Chain A
Amino acid sequence: METQIQISPEKIVLREDSRYIFQPRFVDDERTIVKAIVLFPDGSLREMEAERDDADSPLVRDVFLQYSEAEIEMHTHRERCMIQKMQAVEQRAREDQARREQLDKLFQAKSEALQMEGVKGCKDATITRRIRSAKTVTEVHSLAAYALMMGTEC
């Protein structure tokens, strides 16, 4: 006969060979794969997953012994929110980095163009001013090329 250990009167029912399960949640939209953190007798915690329909999986058995479908849904929702937040943070960090690099390149281009002899000597201050306030590297290069082509006439 199978012995059952009652841990929490309402929810957690463990078999002798059961493991404690934490944060069980569905991985996919179809709710076919279950993932959870499992506490082993040596005290180690491991994240494990299994197909929900796998009748031989001790993980699936323990998850559904210890948690209701609603509780698993709650953990699923919580994790998805967390993942979305993390993705948004990572996306912002990527955009910030790209923006910084773009600005650095633009200022580098301006600085180099304004230090070129042919540009520095340009008598038309509007050209150097336009280089200073240019919005893109292409604009900087085009204006610098114009200044060089015009030589001292510019």
Chain B
Amino acid sequence: MRVLEKINPEIVESLNLFKDWVFRPEIQESLRGEISKNKYELYDGGQSEASTSLEYLSSLDHKRHDGYPPELRGLDLNYDTVKKLDHGFDDAFVNEIRDINFKTDSLLQIYLGAKISALKAFYPEQGYIAWHTNWNAPGYNIIFTYSPTGSGYWRHIDPTNATSITPTPENMVHISDTPGWHCKVGYFGSQTETNKLVWHSAYTNEPRVTLAYLIYEENIWKDIVKEIEEA
């Protein structure tokens, strides 16, 4: 997993399109209304950050993990996810979500050459995504995160030399958010690729946006990484 702190302006412009939409007051009202309706055990118990703790990671049934986060305080605004999950959004708002997805992906997904838009998340204050692997969708990832002041973080378990799916707590890597946009790139392996299997989680003290794209081909992914690095 590598962190790229500088992103070329062309990509940032597309990222801002989505971020600026998310932070529009009327959009925030709808998103926060939806978030407040859901039950978040850790948040309600004042334990938001427990979701990214090593104790929480150890407590999971690793063998029965399905790849998805067991708990998330935030919303995935990917249009396909919104359609599938039957949020409480009205038709007009679902259409807004559809429009911003199309606009963002028409610029970003096509520019990157990414096959799948994996995530378009908004996290409120004390938002989190609990430890998980995404091993149901292995591939090369490009993960863009926006944080206003950088008061949030990402954690993952470095899988180098791992021989089992059980994460090794000593190999935890903590990456603080930075003010503005930054990017993380890496390969997330399947259940059988133990040395490429990335347990990861994130937490934020302030509103945070993450867009992730999944690329199946290494050469395309390498070219994107190179381009971002050149920024």
Contacts and interface: CB of A to CB of B under 8 A. Distances in A.
Contacts of B87: none
Contact of A92 (B98, B219, B223, B227): B98
Interface in A35-73: none
Interface in B208-231: 216-217, 219-220, 223-224, 226-227
A134 B110 CA distance: 7
A110 B113 contact: yes
A133 B111 contact: yes
Interface in B179-231: 216-217, 219-220, 223-224, 226-227
Contacts of B112: 132-133
Interface centre among B109, B113, B227, by most A CB within 10 Å? B113
Contact of B217 (A85, A99, A106, A114): A114
A116 B230 CA distance: 25
Given A92-B98, A99-B102, A107-B115, A114 B110 contact: no
A129 B227 contact: yes
Interface string A112-141: 001100001000010011001111000000
A110 B98 contact: no
A132 B98 contact: no
A92 B223 CA distance: 34
Contacts of B115: 107
A32 interface: no
Interface residues of A, number: 19
A106 B224 CA distance: 17
Interface in B112-155: 112-113, 115
Nearest to B105: A103
A98 to B, nearest CB: 12
Interface of B: 91, 95, 98, 102, 105, 109-113, 115, 216-217, 219-220, 223-224, 226-227
Pick the 6 closest A-B CB pairs, nearest first.
A132-B113, A133-B111, A107-B115, A110-B113, A132-B223, A132-B220
Given A132-B223, A132-B224, A133-B110, 8 more contacts: A85-B91, A103-B110, A110-B113, A115-B219, A120-B219, A133-B111, A133-B113, A134-B110
12 contacts: A85-B91, A92-B95, A92-B98, A99-B102, A103-B105, A114-B220, A115-B219, A120-B219, A132-B220, A132-B224, A133-B112, A135-B110
